A and B are shown apart, each in its own frame.
Chain A
Amino acid sequence: MATVKKDYKVIGSRPVRHDGVDKVTGKAIYSADFSISDLLHGKVLRSPIAHGIIKKIDTSKAEKLPGVRAIVTSKDFIGSSDKNIETAEDRNEGETTRLKYLRDNVLASDKLLYIGQPVAAVAATSSHIAEEAISLIELEYETLEPVLNTTQGLSSKSIIHQELETKELGTKVPGKTNLAEHIQHKLGDPEEAFKHAEIIVERELTTETVHQGYIEPHAATASWSKDGRITVWCSTQGAFPARDTTADILGVPISQVKVVPLEIGGGFGGKIPVYLEPVAALLSRASGHPVKLVMSRKEVFECTGPTPGTLMRVKIGADKSGKFIAAQAHLEFEAGAFPGSPVAAGSYCVFAAYDIPNVLIDGYDVIVNKAKTAAYRAPGATMAAFATETVIDEVAEKLQMDPAEIRLINTAKKGTRRADGPVYPTIGCEEVIKTIKDSEHYNSPITEPHVGRGIAIGYWFNVGLESACTISLSKNGTINLVEGSTDIGGTRTSIAMQAAEVLGLLPEDVIPSVVDTDSIGFTSVTGGSRTTYATGWAAYEAAIDVKNQMISKVAGIWSIDADNVEFEDGVFFSKQDTELKMTFKELAAKSGAPIVGRGSVSKGGMGAGGGSFAGAICDVKIDPETGKTTVLRFTCVQDAGKAIYPSFVEGQMQGGSVQGIGWALNEEYFMTDDGRMTNSSLLDYRMPTSLDLPMIDTIIVEVPSDGHPYGVRGVGEANIVSPPAAVANAIYNATGVRQSSLPMNPASITKGIQDHRSDILNSMNC
């Protein structure tokens, strides 16, 4: 492996991204922009209740509506649903998924499990006709008592999946339950250690369901050809996983499906699952036409994503010096209607920033009658950090310690044993905390009343997984780079730059293409902060392959041994004969067998490169009368390992920070007692606007990861983890009232202030 060097020519620069002009001129084709000859438009009938049994689906009236060409239900899937399959992501994670769950989430078979669950779908000559037809389908059902949070899920007699048993590290606990999994990590002897703590802080905290909030609704077009080949055009975070899952759900071999990824208008984890793709395919088979399905915003809110509501209890014990000696976490996460909340990830991350010798973590994955949760940027870690980091703030306060100092003396570093067992490789946690502590922002005085400052630290472990790249050398000395990672935020360029650096090219000499699943090797999702890390690594290896082939070629031309050829600054030269020199472009122009390099990597699952730490410093101003929080100043600090494209690293940090601020202050699903979301529009689901925010300052820390040729760490996720806790700690600092629930909206802040009115008046000198 190449050593990390400092004098890069391309790495660390800020070129114009390759897909940029298309995206600022409206030419880029996103999923809903796609069209094809002979296209029909589809709509989906969705469950009106949160929990029930399907008695009858009568489509006869809808079928008679002029313009309707096909109606499908779950009966149209091929083969039995009663088996476990290994999805593309499962393969990396060592688990399997019940096919019935996958299918029921795209077309319900026997039960209705959440409001918005697809039940039937129509293809018609226009989307308006399809919508009319949907209203003509008669759905008869029996209503059951819904289960809407983890407390209900763990205590209710209303069982959502009769066959479900609790998973406990590979074993199944018999008995009817809504608890899909219990996870436990134990390090040392926390029970004993707590007895020796000078101070113990224990708090119960809750968070509400929030959505990823990508601006592009899901859309998919499918064409089931008469020869059995299925082509799907969609926007997805992973064309290959989407292909595999679509094939699994349909009951056809993966070789029968091709996914063509279109431009993707945001995902944040929410565009890893497939929702529309298999349904569009069934409609295409039934109608004989290509069929396009596009979700409305309401459908996006009700039926996709979200990340779950949680109930957490976190307890930390420290000695007199502030050293954490024991910690305990109890994490209950809503899975949605099928198993698989991010509680496992939350359990890995809850104390990940600290070196604590005695830890007990219990995580509970609880089935509820809400949409199946999907990944959302550092899934599970943000809620967990909200709990841990507010408890730590309280420990620091009680010990009269500086919040950065207490984190620094407890920081995880290389060699720290995590609660789940493994020890860290090189990580940048300590450097992130030090950077916060030494920053101008942290050390600037607070002079105004009702203003407070908070900090918090967050971790996301990052994944490696599988990526493939090929590079073809053109006669004019440019390269065509083919990759399978869908580009959500400029990764074409951050990947291309890693190849350019090897070959001494400019970024614009690399022409990157994101291609369909027939045209490149398997590539895992654009997620887990892995794309610049792992696909960049594959591009690096493909470029090394090109370089080696070019060395062989020039050695042949010069009739010397390839070992005697060096390549530096874009020039091939002989180590022995200084006369023998050829530029990259000159050599590329020489005829001969085409040079095609390939890179193919499998870089492990969780913990790739040690993951990334990030931290936030937040200043807020509270209006004590209305409870309105204004974020006055915000700084995000993150370890990028090595920032390939610093503007994009900053952009990830800023975007994650603002999603975290929205989560902290405004965003939540308002649910009725019968499980209906009442704020399923972008007016009522209040994401931050430009007017709600200050500039988001960024400080990039670079502690190169072990292994990666440039020391990259994925930066997509860790930045969302700390903001809610940092905002909560700032609100406490401003008001003297601890917040224990997200979001911390004006109502909860005024209530807190009123409850502590006399204290507040004193502390604020009003």
Chain B
Amino acid sequence: MTQSKTYVRCTINGEDTEFLCEPRQSLLECLRDVLRLTGTKEGCNDGNCGACTIMLDDRIVTSCLVLGVEVNGKTITTIEGMASPEGLHPVQQAFLEEAALQCGICTPGFLIASKALLDTNPNPTEEEIRFWLANNLCRCTGYDKIVRAVVKAGEKIREG
């Protein structure tokens, strides 16, 4: 029998991680089905909903459009790696306080994307927030409270 799986070694949420995956498996599948990190969600599997957004090195990507075998040697951050032992990240806290989630399925993707924005620009305008988050679909909130939460998280981050 020929070897059907490929060995991949990467860093996920700060942990050195090894896994085997089929060449056809997306990173999203590897995270969810192989590594059981189900916080990253699948909404469309073609890069259009943003529910599977993660950080790959310093870029936000939709993990359904990345193959598992591509991440060898790379650094990945998923929603599971956002909170610290001390508590929630300010953007997570702001989403809770501003009621920026309803069903919550898009929330991990929005949190990853929002944190990436705030890491580079902790004082974004409404327009900048809307532009940055335009690849993440939310069907419940109409985005109003998400925008407010990102503004509030930015304020918290700037205050330190």
Residues of chain A at the chain B interface (Cβ within 8 Å): 14, 16-17, 19-21, 23-30, 32-33, 35, 128, 212-217, 263-268, 294, 296-297, 488-490, 647-648, 650-651, 654-659, 681-683, 687-691, 693, 695-696
Distance (whole angstroms) from the CB of B62 to the closest CB of chain A: 11
A690 with B143, Cβ < 8 A, contacts A14-B99, A488-B102, A488-B103 known: yes
B59 sits at the interface (CB 8 A): no
The answer on a CB contact under 8 Å between A215 and B41 is: yes
Residue of B with least CB distance to A649: B99
Q: State the Cβ distance, B103 to closest chain A Cβ, in Å.
A: 4
Does B30 count as interface, using CB distance less than 8 angstroms?
Answer: no
How many interface residues does B have (CB within 8 Å)?
57
- A-B complex: 7 closest residue pairs judged by Cβ atoms: A26-B39, A265-B105, A658-B142, A23-B104, A26-B79, A654-B142, A647-B99
Q: Are A489 and B38 in contact (CB under 8 A)?
A: no
Whether the pair A655, B140 counts as a contact (CB closer than 8 A) is yes
A17-B38 in contact given A215-B139, A268-B139, A650-B145 (Cβ < 8 Å): no
CA distance A659 to B139 in the complex (A): 7
Residue interface mask B85-108, A partner, CB < 8 A = 1: 000100010011111011111111
A489–B140 contact, CB under 8 A? yes
Residue B48 lies at the interface, judged by CB distance under 8 Å to chain A? yes
Q: How far is the CB of B151 from chain A (nearest CB, A)?
A: 11
- CB atoms of A265 and B45 under 8 A apart: no
Cα(A26)–Cα(B12), bound, Å: 15
Residues of B within 8 A of A681 (CB): 44, 46, 48
Given contacts A265-B105, A647-B98, A651-B140, 10 further A-B contacts (CB under 8 A): A26-B39, A26-B82, A263-B104, A488-B102, A647-B145, A681-B48, A682-B44, A682-B48, A689-B133, A693-B130
A-B pairs with beta carbons under 8 A, tally = 180
CB pair B103–A264 under 8 Å, yes or no, is: yes
User: Dominant SS at the B interface?
Assistant: loop
* A215, B99: Cβ atoms closer than 8 Å: no
- Tell me whether B107 and A24 are in contact (CB under 8 A): yes
In the bound complex, CA of A681 to CA of B79 (Å): 25
Q: Is the CB of A20 within 8 A of B96?
A: yes
Residues in A with CB closer than 8 Å to B92 are 24-25
Quick one: given A20-B96, A682-B49, are A28 and B140 in contact (CB under 8 Å)?
Answer: no
Q: Inside 8 A of A263's CB, which chain B residues have their CB?
A: 103-105
Cα–Cα, bound, A254→B36 (Å)? 33
What is the bound-complex CA distance between A166 and B141, given in angstroms?
40
Interfacial chain A residues near B147, Cβ < 8 Å: 690, 695
A650 to B82, CA, bound (A): 28
Which one of B108, B139, B140 lies within 8 Å of A26 (CB-CB)? B108
How distant is the Cα of A296 from the Cα of B46 in the complex, in angstroms? 10
Is the pair B143, A651 in contact by a Cβ cutoff of 8 Å? no
Given contacts A489-B103, A691-B131, contact A17 B96 (CB under 8 A): yes
Q: Is residue B80 contacting chain A, with contact meaning CB distance below 8 A?
A: yes
Residues of A within 8 A of B131 (CB): 691
